Amino acid sequence: MGGKLIPEQYIKALPESLINQIAAGEVVGRPASVVKELVENSIDAGASWIKILIREGGHRQIKVSDNGQGIATVDLPLALSRHATSKLATLEDFDQLLTLGFRGEALASIAAVSRMTVTTRMAHVDQGASLSTEGGSEASVLPASHPVGTTVDVRDLFFNTPVRRRFLRSPETEWRHIETVMQQMMLSRFDTGFTVSHQGKVIWEVAPCETIEAKEARIAKMLGEALMQEAIRLDFRALGLQVSGWIADPAYTRTQGDTQFWFLNGRWIRDKMLLQAVREAYADVLFHGRHPAYILYLEMSPTDVDVNVHPAKHDVRFRDPNLVRTTVKRSIEDTLAALRTEKLPLSRTTLPGMVPYTPPPVPAFTPEKVMAVLPEVPIVNAVQKTLDLPARSTTAVPEVRQDLCETLVATPCQHPAQQLGTAIGQVHQTYILAQNGAGLVLVDMHAAHERVLYEKLKQAWAEKAIVTQQLLIPVSVQVNPAEWQFCRMHQSLLTAAGFHLEFTEQEGAVFVRALPAILKQQASERLLQAILADCVAEQGEGN
């Protein structure tokens, strides 16, 4: 074989269209990321109202219209090209950055993987302009009529990237991701109105909020009335930082960390350090395994934070993470402490439904009896120790449960040291003090009560013998759309578990007609909400 003189060229420059499609992967993961990018652009354009129209979970169409400043006709082709932005000119501008966008990537990326039309008009011109592209193809600007503002209409996402298209989930699942993004958006900007519709139906319509009450009403609409009833407002400023928003009373907890929102300078972010700071602040007042709920806003100078860490901009880097952490923690601890002081006198008197505790009879001790049981060694170095028991939420004090003491004592246990023996009394209305052969036993009443109920329920489930209790008046339970869908899809399973549910057309609520008799003392609303949140979260993990 003769030697080849023409050198083979293995490295080739990618065509522009392919570069754009690959880059799009970073920005456009799924329909929800398109929605996020377009809504962020509308917010940056100063819109006071944004309309979002979705068809088939965004598979077919995502259309975002705003009444913002619009795009100049001459700028329109640039707006759709990569690395072109009006929001940043030099690296120093990052220090002043208050817009959500800055990369000049979003529109170009979306255009590369869809059929997109942008129509826009600025206030000082009579004629608007429009530009349509297919997969980012060259296109010319045409005159068009449009009210002041911009509409971006995205159709057939990933039509030209079949691999990516195959990775799209069902319209229902994609719609759920869009809902999550929209929740973040609507909670991040109270001064903007939003109309969100799916399949021709308006799902959310919220007007710009001027008062605290209006903001609270918006949160209640997004995350449920139950949360807002337990929400405490917080506003804390120190050392150039502002922490404000709402945190839930520790009596309102979630089984998942699904109601935890952080916004930094108007941008939804996900930051481990912030989550941890809140968890620590709540540590003493939360039951084990429960999660706090909050919507918190952090404001600081853009010079003290870098948002250019990750293409999706969820992750940020603080210049002084310690300062942020301690300030956040303190603001929450102070708020919770003030709440405790406020509630303390009430818990010392009586709470509604509280049964006075009668201690079990203690045998009368005579000096002879005491001498008989005391070991014949002198008690030296007796240590007097105060046990530092975690304080419980003052509103979550369970009733003093004589019957529980009895059940616990009656519960058989193989290990003698774990037997509960005889209940002696109660500490802080939270712990049962008992004595057994090995000494004193301290039982967390709440946890024990839960365990007893759980064991009984488990057994009844195994025997298919869950006894239900009909409610005289059905209880309406606020649920989010994902939970509502879950109830509809798994109604028979829930019925078998003892929850008889009814539905109306309204996706925000289900009605409980009956629940397991054993749980009838529980607040049925919270109980069902907690169960559904768990189920939906688990289902989500499977996606």
Which residue in the shown chain puts its C-beta closest to Mg ion? 101
State how far the Cα of 163 lies from the Cα of 454, in Å rounded to an integer: 46
23: CB partners within 8 A, 6+ apart: 82, 105, 108, 109, 112
Closest CA to 162 of 185, 144, 135, 137: 135
Interface with ligand ATP includes 102 (CB under 6 A)? yes
DSSP character for 238?
E
Binds 258, which of ligand ATP, Mg ion, none (CB < 5 to 8 A, cut-off by type)? none
The nearest distance, CB 151 to ligand ATP, in angstroms, is 8
Interface with ligand ATP includes 179 (CB under 6 A)? no
The nearest distance, CB 542 to Mg ion, in angstroms, is 32
Interface with ligand ATP includes 107 (CB under 6 A)? yes
Interface with ligand ATP includes 79 (CB under 6 A)? yes
State how far the Cα of 169 lies from the Cα of 195, in Å rounded to an integer: 24
Pick the binder of ligand ATP from 86, 180, 197, 485 (CB under 6 A).
86
Binds 77, which of ligand ATP, Mg ion, none (CB < 5 to 8 A, cut-off by type)? none
332: three-class secondary structure by DSSP? helix
The nearest distance, CB 72 to ligand ATP, in angstroms, is 9
The nearest distance, CB 94 to ligand ATP, in angstroms, is 12
Binds 511, which of Mg ion, ligand ATP, none (CB < 5 to 8 A, cut-off by type)? none
Main-chain dihedrals φ then ψ at residue 118, nearest 5 degrees:
-115, 125
CA distances from 318 to 111, 296, 321, 332 (A): 33, 17, 5, 19
Contact 354, 429 (CB under 8 A): no
Site for ligand ATP in 11-40 (CB under 6 A): 37
| Residue 143 β-bridge partners | 129
Q: Which is nearer to ligand ATP, 106 or 300 (CB)?
A: 106
Binds 285, which of ligand ATP, Mg ion, none (CB < 5 to 8 A, cut-off by type)? none
State how far the Cα of 293 lies from the Cα of 257, in Å rounded to an integer: 7
Site for ligand ATP in 141-160 (CB under 6 A): 150
Question: In the numeric block, which tokens belong to residue 214?
Answer: 């209006």
132: three-class secondary structure by DSSP? strand
Ordered DSSP codes for 252-309: S-BSSS-SEEEEETTEEE--HHHHHHHHHHHGGGS-TT-B--EEEEEE--GGGEE-TT
How many residues of this chain interact with ligand ATP, rule: CB under 6 A? 22
State how far the Cα of 150 lies from the Cα of 47, in Å rounded to an integer: 9
Site for ligand ATP in 51-70 (CB under 6 A): 66, 68-70
- Of the candidate spans 100-108, 232-240, 269-277, 520-528, the one that interacts with ligand ATP by CB under 6 A turns out to be 100-108
> Quick one: 526 exposed, middle or buried, by C-beta within 10 A (0-12, 13-18, 19+)?
middle
Question: In the numeric block, which tokens belong to residue 245?
Answer: 């928003």
Q: Which is nearer to ligand ATP, 89 or 379 (CB)?
A: 89
The nearest distance, CB 86 to Mg ion, in angstroms, is 10
Contact 107, 41 (CB under 8 A): yes
Between strands 509-516 and 468-478, the pairing is antiparallel
Pick the binder of ligand ATP from 58, 101, 193, 250 (CB under 6 A).
101
Q: Which is nearer to Mg ion, 110 or 228 (CB)?
A: 110
Binds 171, which of Mg ion, ligand ATP, none (CB < 5 to 8 A, cut-off by type)? none
The nearest distance, CB 354 to ligand ATP, in angstroms, is 56
The nearest distance, CB 99 to Mg ion, in angstroms, is 8
Q: Which is nearer to ligand ATP, 106 or 187 (CB)?
A: 106
The nearest distance, CB 465 to ligand ATP, in angstroms, is 58
CA distances from 252 to 158, 259, 458, 527 (A): 42, 11, 25, 11
Pick the binder of ligand ATP from 29, 77, 104, 266 (CB under 6 A).
104
Three-state SS string over 171-211 comes to HHHHHHHHHHHHHHHHHHCCCCEEEEEECCEEEEEECCCCC
Question: In the numeric block, which tokens belong to residue 314?
Answer: 């969820």
Which residue in the shown chain puts its C-beta closest to ligand ATP? 101
Interface with ligand ATP includes 71 (CB under 6 A)? yes
The nearest distance, CB 40 to Mg ion, in angstroms, is 5
Binds 174, which of Mg ion, ligand ATP, none (CB < 5 to 8 A, cut-off by type)? none
| Residue 298 β-bridge partners | 243, 264
Interface with ligand ATP includes 85 (CB under 6 A)? yes
Alpha-carbon dihedral of residues 220, 226, 228, 232, nearest 10 degrees? -160
The nearest distance, CB 111 to ligand ATP, in angstroms, is 9
Binding site for ligand ATP (CB under 6 A): 37, 41-42, 45, 66, 68-71, 79, 85-87, 101-108, 150
